[in-house]
Amino acid sequence: MLSKLTKRYLSTSRTESLRLVTFESDGLARVGVQAKLGEICDISAIDPEIPTEMKQFLAGGSEMLTRARNAVNQAYSGSEDALISRNKYKLLAPLYNPEKILCVGMNYTDHCTEQNFPIPEEPIIFNKFPGTIIADEEDIIHDLETEELDFEVELVVVIGKPGKKIKRENAMEHVAGYTVAHDVSARDWQMRRNGGQWLLGKTFDTFCPLGPCIITPEDLSFEEAHNLPIRCYLNGEIVQDSNTRELIFKTDELIAWISRFCTLRTGDLILTGTGPGVGAFRKPPLWLKSGDVVVCEVEGIGAISNTIVR
């Protein structure tokens, strides 16, 4: 199923945009393009040279994007058998097997302001494990190990072209696209336990809902990507409301910084940070509980919805 917000984006988005997705139909998972009111174009059914796995597709760079656009055009000009209606597929996370999920802390000006936290002079980097990834409408497990489960909506950069020590002026050549993530956080483990290291509090199973699609830089320019409303809804109420223009370190700066230390590879994810309003800094704190529904939305890309299950 598709969330109502995702359906809204599909009904109002430019039909020529490539909304790259991973979907399951007839028991098989493959790469597709989501278009118009949610139907999927099964691009590899039209062009067998197109990989069925997202990392392999992204590794093909501009050639694969051209093939995908041609496949979509062919589907709408006669190859209608490759169009799958939305009640005949399951939308998966766009990508499940990144080598790295890299996250940026304290990267929104307004998020720093709400905590009286000084604006960082260098990006603050931590990580999640790939096993945290789940799809839109899958459940977030509230593990009994934590009593302080929190929400964070984030814009995600998806790496296409690998690189090390990438210059900032060349950084966008390495971006395959953008998607949305929910950086679920166990604040007790992040902030107080385990010696104050963030890793365990960020990497419980199911702590990285991802999706619903990947939007390419051809369809979402650098300027557009850094001027998008970004919101989190808890049980239908807005709890985070910011804009990606509040990012302290933008996409190009993050890629240049991170690649100083490690090679960025195709499919790596960079969660760029979250805005104000998270539960930990409310008075009293607002912790997620069983039955809560969290929707993370970045306008222009889409929204993901997940239910908390104890």
Measuring CA to CA, which residue among 207, 249, 288 is closest to residue 112? 249
- Lowest mean per-residue pLDDT among 11-20, 78-87, 162-171, 186-195: 11-20
Contacts of 4 (CB under 8 A, 6+ apart): none
- Lowest mean per-residue pLDDT among 72-76, 240-244, 249-253: 72-76
pLDDT in tens, 8-64: 555 444 446 799 999 999 999 999 999 766 799 999 999 999 999 999 999 999 999
Amino acid at 268: D
* Mean pLDDT (whole number) for 255-260: 98
pTM higher than 0.85: yes
In angstroms, rounded to a whole number, what is the distance separating the alpha carbons of residues 262 and 247? 22
Q: Of residues 111 and 218, which shows the higher confidence score?
A: 218
In angstroms, rounded to a whole number, what is the distance separating the alpha carbons of residues 182 and 133? 10
Quickly state the pLDDT bin for 4 (edges 50, 70, 90). low
H runs (alpha helix) in 140-258 = 187-191, 199-202, 222-225, 251-258
Looking at residue 14, its pLDDT comes to: 42
Say what percent of the chain tops pLDDT 90: 83
- Lowest mean per-residue pLDDT among 69-78, 142-151, 158-167, 171-180: 69-78
Question: Is pLDDT at 5 greater than 90 in this prediction?
Answer: no
Report the sign of the C-alpha dihedral through residues 244, 177, 182, 91, in that order.
Answer: positive
* Mean pLDDT (whole number) for 114-132: 91
- Lowest mean per-residue pLDDT among 22-26, 114-118, 148-152, 264-268: 114-118
Complete domains list, the chain, with CATH: 4-91 (2.30.30.230), 101-309 (3.90.850.10)
Place of tokens 């300027």: 223
| Whole-number average pLDDT of the chain | 93
pLDDT in tens, 175-207: 999 999 999 999 999 989 988 889 999 999 999
Question: Is pLDDT at 115 greater than 80 in this prediction?
Answer: no
